[in-house]
Structure 1
Amino acid sequence: MNASIISKGRKPMNTPFIRNHQLNVIKKQTDFLQNTLRTVADRRVLETVRYTAAATAVNAFSELTAEQRQMLEQISSFESGYDFQRFLDSLEPLMVPYPDITLKQIQKLFPKTKKLRVPDLNSIDFRYLTYLSWVDIAANKLFIVYPHQGQFIGIEGRLIPTNKKGYCLFCNRHQELAFLSVSTKPVHASQDNIASVGQYVCMDNHACNHSITSTEALEKFILSVRKS
């Protein structure tokens, strides 16, 4: 397993430590293991898959206490769908929610948008968000708010449906895509020196948040287009 994973000092077992994308990794491994248990009889193959599922779940974290690691490694011992579901249910209280954010904070991130249409924040389950996003259909724009190093980053871009399927930059899921084009400019550039950076992303942002298993590509894109 990943040598960078180290056991820290004792923390209460109910301390939240699982972020949304990490829970998605765990869910993916439970699905993988359950499917293998249903379709494979070879005990050696099953043991390998059990070990791989546990290792992948653990390696989704850079730091774990001994207790947290032991908890995640339980995935390798389950047999029934009931056991797997009970395990996943037990992880929900340990999720680290998306940081608290208010409507005024969001509005400050997009000062040039006069009529910013923001979704009802009270209707969102922030436990299952890696990034907050919404589409303004009238303006054909996608808005993204991402927490990074204690601050929120807001980006907006034109969203153009492609009517085709492919792999989303953020979640690497094969789904219907849209082309997101964000205007940007280099640091110290003149006001006229503006370019666009574009990537293909999911049309369904809700499903994207439920599928994303790494923040690397998402962060790289957001940091590359954030305003200087």
Structure 2
Amino acid sequence: MCEPFIRNHQYNVIKNQADSVLRALRSVGDPKILESVRFTAQSKVTEMFPDILDNRRTMLETVSELKTAEDFLKYKQSLEPYLAEFPRITEQQIRKLFPKNKKLKLPDLAQTDFRQISYLSWTDVSTNKMFIVYHTGEQFVGVEGRFTATNKKSYCFVCNRYEELALFSAITKKRPANASSDYYKSVGNYLCMNGSDCNKNITDVSTLERFINSVLG
């Protein structure tokens, strides 16, 4: 039985590094440069799993041995049994994360591939609201905010890829000492309109975690 250990954002890193090896094979003629690309790819993949020293490490290291598109496909397929799912969440759990929203629109959990997400997000166009659910490793947390479509492409603050963006802004729960009763502060940033695209691109969850912490305190 395979023990899942590769999170979605880590899998994206692995795919990117495998792709870099294939691109180098197609475009680089200098053996030294090609070897450097292979070494870099292997290093970036294995450094994400410093505690794994068994046959799984050997499996990961073969990213540097890819030679063809078929090798790339087989490599990805060999990793799929080890993909760790985003923790399963129920509609009831989601509702508890947003208790003030009595008419909460829920995501389609049945159509969600939990192996391919680092966070759960969805929008309610009727209210211009966007919702983000993340698992900290200990618990689920939810952030609700307004979104404004930009109708243009730029770099998402979560995945750092060039995609169609929305401005997402949420009222932070942090309050300075002696703040007045009507005090509020909004925290905002630009992220992918399409959460599925963002999850396919994300390679580091730290920026998302910092944003969530800035909202929730």
Question: Match of 2:44, as an amino acid?
Answer: T
Q: Partners in 1 of 2:215 and 2:60 — Cα distance? A: 36
Instruction: Determine helix, strand or coil for the equivalent of 1:144.
Output: strand
Asked if residue 32 in structure 1 is aligned to residue 20 in structure 2, the reply is yes
Q: Partners in 2 of 1:155 and 1:87 — Cα distance? A: 36
Residue number in structure 2 paired with 1:77: 65
Instruction: Determine helix, strand or coil for the equivalent of 1:210.
Output: helix
Residue number in structure 2 paired with 1:142: 130
User: Which runs of at least 4 in structure 1 moved beyond 6 Å after TM superposition?
Assistant: none
Q: Partners in 2 of 1:82 and 1:182 — Cα distance? A: 45
Deviations 1:142-185 (A, max 9, x none): 10000013100000110011122211111000111111110113
Give the alignment partner of residue 221 of structure 1, picking from 205, 211, 214: 211
Residue number in structure 2 paired with 1:199: 189
Q: Partners in 2 of 1:62 and 1:42 — Cα distance? A: 31
Q: How many pairs align?
A: 215
Q: Please state how far the C-alpha of 1:62 moved relative to its aligned partner.
A: 4.7
Instruction: Determine helix, strand or coil for the equivalent of 2:71.
Output: helix
Give the structure-2-normalised TM-score: 0.94
Give the alignment partner of residue 130 of structure 1, picking from 118, 121, 130: 118
Instruction: Write the mapping of 1:27-176 to structure 2, written as runs, cut at 5 A.
Output: 27-176=15-164
Q: Partners in 1 of 2:183 and 2:79 — Cα distance? A: 48
Q: Please state how far the C-alpha of 1:24 moved relative to its aligned partner.
A: 0.2
8 Å CA contact 1:25, 1:60 repeated in 2: no
Question: Match of 1:112, as an amino acid?
Answer: K
Task: Give unpaired runs (5+ residues) of structure 2.
Answer: none
Q: Please state how far the C-alpha of 1:71 moved relative to its aligned partner.
A: 1.4
Question: Match of 2:151, as an amino acid?
Answer: N
Q: Partners in 2 of 1:42 and 1:16 — Cα distance? A: 37
Task: Give unpaired runs (5+ residues) of structure 1.
Answer: 1-11
8 Å CA contact 2:18, 2:64 repeated in 1: no
Instruction: Determine helix, strand or coil for the equivalent of 2:201.
Output: coil
Instruction: Determine helix, strand or coil for the equivalent of 1:113.
Output: coil
Distance 1:191 1:91, change over 3 A: farther
Q: Partners in 2 of 1:70 and 1:219 — Cα distance? A: 31
8 Å CA contact 1:185, 1:193 repeated in 2: no
